[in-house]
A and B are shown apart, each in its own frame.
Chain A
Amino acid sequence: MDMANATESSNQVRVHELDEHRASLFKFALLQLRDEAQAEDAVQETLLAAMQGAEGFSGKSSVRTWLTGILKHKILDQLRKSSRERLPDVGYDEDCSDDFEASFDEHGSYVEKPAEWGSPDAALSQKKFFEVLERCMEGLPKNTARVFAMREIMGLDTHEICNETGISATNCGVLLYRARMALRLCLDQRWFGGNR
């Protein structure tokens, strides 16, 4: 418990070193929280926790990996906090235009057959691809993005998301569906379309 006893030299991570990661952590948090103040809080708490627990850093992973691990928990705390403050109809208030809806005709068939993406795994080794992915995520409506982050980044299951946010399982499924279809369309247009 007594952090003061941990001598500075025994800490493998130094304070100034932590601060170098601030901007990157902030961007990561903002993409998921969509709220600057909350993202700032999450990062602040992460750096604080890191400073207090620097000896918990094993040195096996990179500092960034270690910090991101802490940040994920802090983001989740923020998501919990804000969903408690929010009305339970959080799932409905989207100002969504749902572009992907236009991919279907009135019979529920694709207007244009979804295109082949070739071997998409190759994209995963390209830094540019992830920049495009981030831009696509930025395009999601706030609550859609939050629920999607809880599912795919925090790894919560839909039950847990329901409990955390107070939205119904059906609603949660709808938001995840919209997020995926919107991201699929966005990647198709902005990345894989370029290969055609």
Chain B
Amino acid sequence: MKIQEVNSPASAVPVALLPDDPLHTRFLNVLLAIWRAMTSSRRVAVGSAIVGFFILIGLIGPFFMPYNPNATSHLFITPPSPTHWLGTTVVGEDIFSQLIYGTRTSVFWGLGTGIMVTLLSVVVGLIGGYFGGWIDDVLTLLTNVSLVLPALPLAIVLAAYFPRGPLTISFVIVFTNWAWQARVLRSQTLSMRSREFVTAARMSGESSLRIIFHEIFPNEIGLVVAGFVSTTIYVVLTWAALEFLGLGDGTIPSWGSLLYWAQQAGALGGGLWWWFIPPGACIAILGAGLSLINFGIDEIADPRLRIERPANVEKHKKAVKLEKAQRNGDALLPL
């Protein structure tokens, strides 16, 4: 599936970039293009709304939690009720509060790690693609080796050796997942290297790093954004999976650690559905929101992938018929 992503990169996201413009104008243009992309496709709009909702909950939600997420009480394993909206755990913690606090942990660590992965792949991809030669050879070899090593088992082994905690998980995910995007960006940079504006910048004596990050990078921003979104989906899922396997810090509430404790307490065999359904649903909805954005970007980039509604075709046929009728009518008009 990822192979396909590499073959059809979303490079054609329409970003109007003129290299002569000052940097802040270019940046504004990029923002404008992102806004246009967000509002032009219904899928992207819905996806952005979902992701925005979770970010909002993560930002302000913890101020409105009904209980302290780690506070135990004598109300063990109560099903959802007006006082405990999502019931309680085996030690009487309020699951709704844990879910709200967990949203903060999961969303922000997920987005943050997504950014870290993207940064690393941008640096590796652009430097390799621009410099070429032995630097590129070494970086490409590293990228390709990293691509063939199985990510999840490697992440598990690494996480098992280092102290438990979000930083470890974040590091492990960055270490195992940067390569896909780096490869895409490298090939894009390679084709960008021989463009006129790069040659011009080189002629005018700009330093290599400035050319890479001020001239080439802004032109690949669409690709980087698309890569960031698909990486973040994967990061959120992997994060939850690693925590579910018990490799996270179980004392910090998050979607994954909720699932971990539910599994440890035998919530499944005990029929405590309110414990393991909500966190999984949150992950699924956030993931769906992100992939809606991603498919929207893909469709903008490659119009062939759009689902055409039959209704439009009919309308078109009608229009053609109408046109024909008019033409025939015209022809029938007495001269």
Say whether A associates with B.
Answer: no
A interface, CB within 8 angstroms of B: none
